[in-house]
């Protein structure tokens, strides 16, 4: 139950046992075409999608390095550890980030964006983390920011690594020019692939880039036309992604998002009924990462050790400046009522072992109420 890598379905694991194929041959071409078709369904885009053999950070670096020459000054709302990394990535690639610093636990607002763009006419793009995995917060005005970018001819880059398929994200409708996802989160795959959707507007900026080689999107586009990638892809991971995307299609994207919503809501309601407090302000709460403040006197390492060793549940601690003060539950991918109830039970037991008496019955009832509302 960590916020990535998440549990991988047996079907997806088994898919990786297929013999390795020639990445310049007809089988790969067929495989890649299927992956792209289903990935476009998940991104809800008619634009291009590229699949990179790289973890999520590679996807972010690819996006940034391909646009910094054409759009050097980039507005970066920052409200957590991954927002900081995005800012640092822009600096490392030679861009100029203009930061909007938001208190962790809260999210960016439209007013902040409009004001920052009004103040600095050289801003050419907005790049942000949709779902901030470190704080369990999300941007609740993504659509409005996309419309604003469209009106003001700004490029819109979204790190959706911990959320694609787990929350509403229609890339084309929301005018997102580059959207980045990671295989190991809601997509239920092992780590190692990142997926990027790219709009026509993004290509007009990417055309100007000369400062990247391995992540050169123009090379990816050229090879994709032949059903290939420019460099040798991690073939077993492509088999896995193909299977996982098929599973999402079988379930239906709307249903997948809805399932994530219900599971997250059940966890939020349960932890609140136990007497715990989520870290994120309610209106900014993530649908896939539930961050919870530790009650006084509960040690992060003892709590998570008990959960892991005694109750067989692995969750994450805080990152960056939140280390030791919060814990995080990943409610992503292969998540159902069964996992939610197990994690709630385990949280109650571990807290009680450490001398904090949670309201066990109330928490289970709260989760049950959310799920029973859903039973038709
Ligand atoms: C929002 C976000 N961005 C970027 C990353 C980095 O991804 P990776 O660790 O796959 O490189 C993560 C990973 O957790 C993330 O959650």
Per-residue pLDDT of the chain (376 residues; tens, 9 = 90+): 999 999 999 999 999 999 999 999 999 999 999 999 999 999 999 999 999 999 999 999 999 999 999 989 999 999 999 999 999 999 999 999 999 999 999 999 999 999 999 999 999 999 999 999 999 999 999 999 999 999 999 999 999 999 999 999 999 999 999 999 999 999 999 999 999 999 999 999 999 998 899 999 999 999 999 999 999 999 999 999 999 999 999 999 999 999 999 999 999 999 999 999 999 999 999 999 999 999 999 999 999 999 999 999 999 999 999 999 999 999 999 999 999 999 999 999 999 999 998 899 999 999 999 999 876 5
Q: Which atom of ligand 1 is nearest to the CA of 182?
A: 10
| pLDDT value of position 374 | 78
Query: Looking at ligand 1, which atom is closest to the CA of residue 58?
Result: 11
How far, in Å, from the CA of 85 to the mean position of ligand 1?
9
| Shortest-distance atom of ligand 1 to CA 3 | 14
CA of 363 to the centre of ligand 1 (A): 30
**For residue 138, how far is its CA from the centre of ligand 1 (angstroms)?**
14
* Ligand 1 atom with least separation from CA of 160: 1
C-alpha of residue 27 to centroid of ligand 1, in Å: 30
Distance 59 CA to ligand 1 centre (A): 9
**C-beta separation of 274 from 347 below 8 A:** yes
Sign, CA dihedral 86-91-96-101, equals positive
| Residue of 64, 79, 179, 182 best suited for mutating to test ligand 1, as the one with most atoms within 8 Å of CB | 182
Task: Give the domains, in start order, of the chain with CATH numbers.
Answer: 10-251 (3.40.640.10), 253-374 (3.90.1150.10)
| CA 129–ligand 1 middle distance (angstroms) | 10
Residues 6 or more apart whose CB falls under 8 angstroms from that of 92 comprise 61
CA 82 to ligand 1 centroid distance, Å = 7
**Six token digits for residue 324:** 């030791």
Which of 224, 223, 182 has the alpha carbon at shortest distance from 332?
182
Atom of ligand 1 nearest to the CA of 4: 14
How far apart are alpha carbons 178 and 202 in whole angstroms?
Answer: 7
Q: Do residues 342 and 313 touch, judged by C-beta distance below 8 A?
A: yes
pTM of the predicted model over 0.85: yes
Q: What is the pLDDT of residue 211?
A: 86
* Cα 203 to ligand 1 centroid, rounded to whole Å: 24
How far apart CA 240 and CA 16 sit, in angstroms, is: 6
Residue nearest atom 9 of ligand 1, based on CA coordinates: 56
Span from the CA of 89 to the centroid of ligand 1 (angstroms):
13
Q: Residue 119: which of 139, 101, 98, 102 has the closest Cα?
A: 98
Residues with Cβ within 6 A of ligand 1? 4, 55-57, 82, 129, 133, 159, 161-162, 182, 191
Closest to 88 (Cα-Cα) out of 104, 102, 76: 76
> Could you identify the atom of ligand 1 that is nearest to the CA of residue 289?
16
Question: Measured between alpha carbons, how far apart are the two ends of the chain, in Å?
Answer: 27
Atom of ligand 1 nearest to the CA of 194: 10
Q: How far is the CA of 358 from the centre of ligand 1 (A)?
A: 32
Q: Whose CA is nearest to atom 7 of ligand 1?
A: 56
Atom of ligand 1 nearest to the CA of 184: 10
Q: Which of 133, 166, 289 to mutate to test the pocket of ligand 1 (most atoms within 8 A of CB)?
A: 133
């Amino acid at each position: 139950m960590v916020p990535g890598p998440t549990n991988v379905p047996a079907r997806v694991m088994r898919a990786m046992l297929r013999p390795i194929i020639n990445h310049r041959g007809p089988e790969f071409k067929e495989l890649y075409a299927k992956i792209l078709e289903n990935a476009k369904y998940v991104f809800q885009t008619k634009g291009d999608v590229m699949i990179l053999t790289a973890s999520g950070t590679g996807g972010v670096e690819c996006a940034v390095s391909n646009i910094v020459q054409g759009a050097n000054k980039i507005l970066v709302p920052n409200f957590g550890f991954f927002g900081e990394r995005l800012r640092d990535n822009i600096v490392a690639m030679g861009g100029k980030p203009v930061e909007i610093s938001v208190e962790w636990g809260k999210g960016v607002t439209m007013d902040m964006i409009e004001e920052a763009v009004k103040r600095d006419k050289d801003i050419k793009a907005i790049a942000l983390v949709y779902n901030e995995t470190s704080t369990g917060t999300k941007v609740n005005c993504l659509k409005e920011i996309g419309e604003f970018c469209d009106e003001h001819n700004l490029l819109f880059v979204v790190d959706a690594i911990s959320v694609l398929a787990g929350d509403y994200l229609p890339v084309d409708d929301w005018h997102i020019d580059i959207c980045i996802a990671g295989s190991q989160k809601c997509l239920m795959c092992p780590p190692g692939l990142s997926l990027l959707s790219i709009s026509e507007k993004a290509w007009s900026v990417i055309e100007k880039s000369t400062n990247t080689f391995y992540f050169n999107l123009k090379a990816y586009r050229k090879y994709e036309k032949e059903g290939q990638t420019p460099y040798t892809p991690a073939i077993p991971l492509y088999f896995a992604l193909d299977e996982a995307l098929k599973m999402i299609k079988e379930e239906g994207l709307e249903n997948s998002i809805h399932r994530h919503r219900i599971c997250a809501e059940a966890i939020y309601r349960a932890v609140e009924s136990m007497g715990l407090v989520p870290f994120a302000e309610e209106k900014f709460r993530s649908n896939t990462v539930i961050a919870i403040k530790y009650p006084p006197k509960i040690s992060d390492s003892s709590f998570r050790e008990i959960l892991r060793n005694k109750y067989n549940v692995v969750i994450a601690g805080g990152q960056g400046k939140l280390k030791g003060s919060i814990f995080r539950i990943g409610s992503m991918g292969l998540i159902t009522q069964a996992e939610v109830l197990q994690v709630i039970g385990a949280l109650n037991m571990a807290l009680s072992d450490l001398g904090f008496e949670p309201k066990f019955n109330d928490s289970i009832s709260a989760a049950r109420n959310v799920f029973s509302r859903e039973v038709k």
